[in-house]
Structure 1
């Protein structure tokens, strides 16, 4: 094997080794169970502008029957008005007017058909309480008792159940004769429209600022803590995206105006702020063109994470009224849904998906994958179709690479003659090789570019498969019913023929008992190697012999969709290289190289 091919394969091996070792060293850890929160009274604390909501009371561990009972008890603590749409179910508490009970009808917790649907929002008194709260911060002439807050008892003024084209209106009147109303509407997907209004029936001018709050009691129980995924605060402020992990919120400086650790951004025209999980998100969205104060806050006394959108103070004369409308997104981060909201005026809403540093690759890769899937109707075949398109785009570079490799093969006899003439004189050998390359118009580095381009594409596709909800529980065929999960087959279940579960992903047993897809990956890499004779150097020969099988085991725990891509990529690459090299007069002897490899192995064992 010539030096160019040796360097090419070594560069490939080292590049992928760096990526794969990183994934192995920093896998997504198993979420640790949260400790039970301490029992506390349900009070409220306030600052000059915003409201810090009450902590959750003692709750049962998550995932138990007791948790369900605790949830039902918490839901029964206050009167409620139901939410029911084709995609959402839940309720609004009349205590504080909180949107604190919301589940997603289209999504289940696991891939099992009888698995519970995903719960997004939960009331105070449940594990990891999570809810939206709206109100007015008092200004000149008003006290906390004069404005609605976390524990205000609202009454239903209009509407019996919140649904599409069926808004509900809540009302509350203070002792001064000021009437506050809150009208909540919802669309076909995940967007709530919240209109807050006040009629000043008092005899004095009042100043007050409308706000919206999203509150989480403690970190999410299913927090991934994986470097490739952002979970925590996500916001947009006049075109600038901000992402803050929960661990970074704990390190905020204490803001005396907020009474807690806080980061405050003044938004001039367009923005939004909320919490993002792996696949779900809640976001406060003031009207486009509106200025507001965007706040990310952590109250360490109560272990509450908050995001807030505080709008400018309204001055309402006696007998006058004022209103403000904002939106609340609470649902799944579906690409099409977010795109539609973005086109409807929510600035850069698609950026709430964690596209990562390679966004210039991940965005178009997902766009292409999504539309191929719409055309084919199967995400597994869509990944293979995407691979074909990527290889077609890179074909001009691949063609030059394989032509260069074929020419290098033709020059092999002349290069061997140069080595004999140069002997141990490395400088003379290098000078002679450069003259030979120049004379024959061969670029020895031409074969490296396609390989180098594959590295960011590989990483970007891994990112797309991991972070986008469209790949979650996406089926292919047979046992492959979730392309975002590792291959579910192994010798333990006779590669999907028996109804046995595989070892837990990430365990030693799972690494040993790999499935069909990793096996095919190893075989495809091994066949690619056999397009060229094995290197004469024993060390290089050993490295190349082991490389396909090492990668096979290392990639065994990756998302099966990524392994499908790499098998398809290897197969297409093998075909392209074989045909192009034959067209240039060089005929790769695949079967001969395989036979030679086994022969060398047998001789080594005899010795």
Structure 2
């Protein structure tokens, strides 16, 4: 195999290996249905405070059962971004939908549901409270079933906070002030007024509980699970990996506990949505991620240090809970204005975050100017290719020079025969004589790989592509091309198969077909390999990729088409400038004309 063809194969393989791995090794997994748990067991945490953990009884007596009581009073939540209710039973934030996001493009489609009560198929909620310390009876503090009273406010809006109150009848009065902004952030202030005549010890806490295995995208490129920041250290724990955590100190399930001294947060993140507990900046707390395999219940917790409330004193604790879309602009504002350290890193920027972040910022800026994410992707690709032009120029110039030496290289091979040492020595002398470095065409390709990964990551994770229109038939750049060759792109009264089905892989849309054509034309700029096996691989590769990417998001396919097209133009012009004039028509027809020479 000559060095020129080695470079061509390496370029193709490096560009496509990530897709091959995803498609073959990481197909979307079926999600098991898990019956929701309905109990809470109180167990002692290491510092002596008692904190409730979501768990089923499994034969163990429960000291405090979480009851599904639809008749429990509720407070309405209405903001420009959120709608739902808060249950006065436990003061749980357990019914929340996103006003500006729907499940499908249908105008009558349900709103995206962020949080759900115990009566739902997949309960998902946030609750707060005080864990009683040594000498304090569990019923002296409000539990998850305690019915709170409304002290102030009727409907929770950005302009009207609400305050809940509960008196234990023994001198302790608990209050919970809840406010919400115009986006996705709740602020919770818990307080205890001690008029009991004796000091009490308690630890404030916050919990986000998620029942059952979440239905995610199932690709390793996208993190789904726990994300945590602890004093500047970011950590991810995938849902699938939580069962491998250490045994929980409470004796139930597994957990990973981190002591945070000053700044941090913890929550669950999916492809587009996130919930997170965010203690006030500068606050020390215990950050816990827990999982109980028997019930498939996931928890994230923030536990403040145990404090003593003297008679006549009042103690309070502030916290925040985020529940909403991972909008870059919104999360960045929380980080910069509210002081939540590195909250922007809750978004999964990937390994090459140092490239992904500025690339996304550029895409966001372009979209702000154009107002169309499809054209923004094309313009972003054009800008990236322009920045990388010096690297591309070096690569294509090297390819042209190697083409010039092709006859001499073939002559060396014929003369050396099976003597590989003689052939290699002759090739090195030929390179040295003509001042050609065969590795110079490969190095630029290697340097572009991190940028390729970053671009792919940006387009995959950004919520701005979800339900974003481009042109004509493309109404959702995060979904596969809805057109289909099976119904002649809408001319026949036949509904194409749903994405993800076997038949869908042959139901090619317009964009995947254009992708195959763009790869085919780009390939025809390169000299055909002399080896029959290589030649067959190259001949089939564009069409294999066309079928593989047919069910990928339209935004990803659009990026790939734009990248191939711009690369084709660059390569053609640069190679012509070096005296090599490819005969595209002849190549497509399988014939090489005399035009392919100086």
Counterpart of 2:257 in 1: which secondary structure?
strand
Matched, 1:314 2:313: no
User: Unpaired runs of 5+ in structure 1?
Assistant: 57-72, 600-607
Q: Per-residue deviation at 1:43? A: 5.6
Match of 1:114 among 108, 115, 138: 108
Aligned equivalent of 1:291: 284
* Structure 1, 202-211 or 358-367: larger mean CA deviation: 358-367
Aligned equivalent of 1:70: none
Counterpart of 1:202 in 2: which secondary structure?
coil
Q: Per-residue deviation at 1:489? A: 1.3
Counterpart of 1:216 in 2: which secondary structure?
strand
Counterpart of 1:445 in 2: which secondary structure?
helix
Aligned equivalent of 1:383: 377
Aligned equivalent of 1:19: 18
Match of 1:346 among 327, 333, 340: 340
Matched, 1:45 2:58: no
Q: 2-side partners of 1:96 and 1:233: how far apart?
A: 24
Q: 1:525 to 1:132 in 2, by over 3 A?
A: same
* Structure 1, 88-97 or 590-599: larger mean CA deviation: 590-599
Aligned equivalent of 2:387: 393
Matched, 1:103 2:97: yes
Q: 1:314 to 1:281 in 2, by over 3 A?
A: same
Q: 1:258 to 1:211 in 2, by over 3 A?
A: farther
Contact 1:128/1:217 (<8 A) preserved? yes
Q: Per-residue deviation at 1:286? A: 0.7
Aligned equivalent of 1:126: 120
Q: Per-residue deviation at 1:119? A: 0.9
Aligned equivalent of 2:573: 579
Question: TM-score, normalized by length of structure 2?
Answer: 0.91
Match of 2:83 among 89, 104, 127: 89
Q: 2-side partners of 1:258 and 1:49: how far apart?
A: 13
* Structure 1, 107-116 or 546-555: larger mean CA deviation: 546-555
Aligned equivalent of 2:454: 460
Q: 1-side partners of 2:419 and 2:222: how far apart?
A: 52
Counterpart of 2:154 in 1: which secondary structure?
coil
Q: 1-side partners of 2:107 and 2:116: how far apart?
A: 23
Q: Per-residue deviation at 1:432? A: 2.3
Counterpart of 1:360 in 2: which secondary structure?
helix
* Structure 1, 412-421 or 308-317: larger mean CA deviation: 412-421
Match of 2:467 among 455, 473, 492: 473
Q: 1-side partners of 2:506 and 2:212: how far apart?
A: 37
Q: 1-side partners of 2:69 and 2:363: how far apart?
A: 41
Q: 2-side partners of 1:410 and 1:74: how far apart?
A: 78
Q: 1:423 to 1:33 in 2, by over 3 A?
A: closer
Kindly report the root-mean-square deviation, in angstroms, between the aligned alpha carbons of the 2 structures: 2.5
Aligned equivalent of 2:422: 428
Aligned equivalent of 1:504: 498
Aligned equivalent of 1:171: 165
Aligned equivalent of 2:322: 329
Per-residue deviation, residues 301-352 of structure 1 (Å, max 9, x unmatched): 6543221111112211111111111111111111111111111211111111
Aligned equivalent of 2:483: 489
Per-residue deviation, residues 196-236 of structure 1 (Å, max 9, x unmatched): 1111111111211111111122223x233332222222111
Per-residue deviation, residues 240-294 of structure 1 (Å, max 9, x unmatched): 1122223333333333446443221111111111122221111111111110011
Aligned equivalent of 2:140: 146
Q: Per-residue deviation at 1:75? A: 7.2
Q: 1-side partners of 2:267 and 2:236: how far apart?
A: 10
Q: 1:493 to 1:368 in 2, by over 3 A?
A: farther
Q: Per-residue deviation at 1:74? A: 5.8
Matched, 1:8 2:7: yes
Per-residue deviation, residues 55-80 of structure 1 (Å, max 9, x unmatched): 69xxxxxxxxxxxxxxxx96732001
Counterpart of 1:446 in 2: which secondary structure?
helix
Counterpart of 2:440 in 1: which secondary structure?
coil
Aligned equivalent of 1:67: none
Matched, 1:229 2:230: no
Contact 2:398/2:441 (<8 A) preserved? yes
Q: 1:379 to 1:156 in 2, by over 3 A?
A: same
Per-residue deviation, residues 493-543 of structure 1 (Å, max 9, x unmatched): 322556754222233322222111121111111112222442333333222
Q: 2-side partners of 1:245 and 1:352: how far apart?
A: 14
Q: 1:379 to 1:96 in 2, by over 3 A?
A: same
Counterpart of 2:86 in 1: which secondary structure?
strand
Per-residue deviation, residues 384-403 of structure 1 (Å, max 9, x unmatched): 11111111111001111122
Q: Per-residue deviation at 1:180? A: 0.8
* Structure 1, 487-496 or 176-185: larger mean CA deviation: 487-496
Question: TM-score, normalized by length of structure 1?
Answer: 0.90
Counterpart of 1:522 in 2: which secondary structure?
helix
Q: 1-side partners of 2:69 and 2:455: how far apart?
A: 42
Aligned equivalent of 1:281: 274
Contact 2:279/2:320 (<8 A) preserved? yes
Q: 1-side partners of 2:492 and 2:101: how far apart?
A: 27
Q: 1-side partners of 2:31 and 2:105: how far apart?
A: 22
Contact 1:362/1:464 (<8 A) preserved? yes
Match of 2:534 among 537, 540, 545: 540
Residue correspondence of structure 1 range 187-336 to structure 2 within 5 A: 187-220=181-214, 222-257=215-250, 259-300=252-293, 302-336=295-329
User: Unpaired runs of 5+ in structure 2?
Assistant: 58-66, 594-598
